[in-house]
Structure 1
Amino acid sequence: MWRRPPEVLGLLASMLGWGLVACTLAMDHWREARLEGQGGSSVVTVAWYWSNLWKDCYEDSTAVVNCVDLGVLWTVKPYIQGVRGLLLVGSAVGLVGTVLAFFGMECTHIGGSQRSKDNMLLTSSTFHFVGCVSDTAGYCLYIDRVTAVFLHAKADPSKLSYEIGVPPYLGLAGSCLILLGCTLHCATALLGNNRDR
């Protein structure tokens, strides 16, 4: 009976984390840059350049957005491909971990004896941890590359310098929630195994 609250809390935390990670895959403004009005001009122009993992876009002050989808796989920058791969692999592994966590919880009557449920919960924690590490590596790779280009562009004012948008940080927050859920499941299963002995 004592297991149910931490198991349910762990499942909810990890599912919320995976939801945040999945949402970031489709979000815009992973990186963004803004160009403001030119001096001496009678019309003030503002333009925003932003991109995500799938397209690059330009938006002007009249709210007209022009987007260009990133090309075929071999024409995309290697780090973008790496980030895509890490996030998709992490999400797939997390889905398996979520299913195993559901079957391994004490409050579900599927999955066999309590010992096999504890083992299933430990396996689920392993899947969640591997997926969390994969997602965190993807977000950190993206942040590192964009920051390196940003610092490089500061030295050369003729280059457009991008800043990090909200989605990578939201994904890192989701990864922290996944890690919290994974830790709760792992602790519950290990404490349950020790009490049963």
Structure 2
Amino acid sequence: MPSSTMQIFAFILALLGVLGATMATLLPNWKVSVSMGSNIMTAISQMQGLWMDCTWYSTGIFSCTLKYSVLALPAYLQTARTTMVLSCLLATLGLWLAALGLKCTHWGGSQSSKVQTAIAAGTCFVLAGFLCLVPASWFTNEHTT
């Protein structure tokens, strides 16, 4: 098994990955478009996310509208919502398993069970990464073609 220092470093990276996936799921920065009018006073920045659409006006006004109706959303957006939430949940499970599999923790059983727990945590992280990559790619494809 790797050293405790390497395991703790990997655990911190996994924690940052879970936080990043959660932020990507919640924030409305999936699509950003800026339109400039004839002068700077008419600039509008629009941001679209999985859960809400936001508009920022150059005058400082910021307004967001939630996407309430699930059935009115296109299929790629419904799928992106679902897979991003599943990715966050699976990564959180992987984080708990990784904490149990660390050499420096006293819970989690024997050394051989810690190895199996660490492998399960790694599998959760790989699957969570895949579940995070698919909606991001599909969303990008829908908005660039």
TM-score, length of structure 2 as denominator length: 0.89
Q: Which of 88, 102, 105 matches 1:105?
A: 102
CA distance in 2, matches of 1:121, 1:43: 54
For residues 11-160 of structure 1, what are the structure 2 equivalents within 5 Å?
11-38=11-38, 45-148=42-145
Q: Per the alignment, do residues 37 and 107 of structure 1 end up closer, same or farther by CA in structure 2, a change over 3 Å counting? A: same
CA distance in 2, matches of 1:44, 1:109: 60
TM-score, length of structure 1 as denominator length: 0.67
SS at match of 1:110: coil
> Which digits, 9 at most, give the CA deviation of each residue in 1:39-60, with x for residues without a partner?
xxx8852222221111223332
> Which digits, 9 at most, give the CA deviation of each residue in 1:64-104, with x for residues without a partner?
23332213110112111111111110111111111111111
Q: Per the alignment, do residues 2 and 45 of structure 1 end up closer, same or farther by CA in structure 2, a change over 3 Å counting? A: closer
| RMSD across aligned positions (CA) | 2.0
| Higher RCO by CA contacts (8 Å cutoff, separation 6 or greater) | 1
> Which digits, 9 at most, give the CA deviation of each residue in 1:103-155, with x for residues without a partner?
1111111111111111111111111111111111122122222222xxxxxxx
CA distance in 2, matches of 1:82, 1:134: 10
CA distance in 2, matches of 1:57, 1:139: 19
Contact kept, 8 Å, 2:76 with 2:135, in 1: the verdict is no
Superposition deviation, residue 26 in structure 1: 2.2
Aligned residues: 145
CA distance in 1, matches of 2:12, 2:48: 31
CA distance in 2, matches of 1:25, 1:9: 24
Contact kept, 8 Å, 2:46 with 2:55, in 1: the verdict is yes
Of stretches 16-25 and 43-52 in structure 1, the one that deviates more from structure 2 is 43-52
Q: Per the alignment, do residues 5 and 45 of structure 1 end up closer, same or farther by CA in structure 2, a change over 3 Å counting? A: same
SS at match of 1:73: coil
Superposition deviation, residue 3 in structure 1: 2.2
CA distance in 1, matches of 2:85, 2:16: 17
> Which digits, 9 at most, give the CA deviation of each residue in 1:163-183, with x for residues without a partner?
xxxxxxxxxxxxxxxxxxxxx
Q: What 5-or-longer segments of structure 2 have no aligned partner? A: none
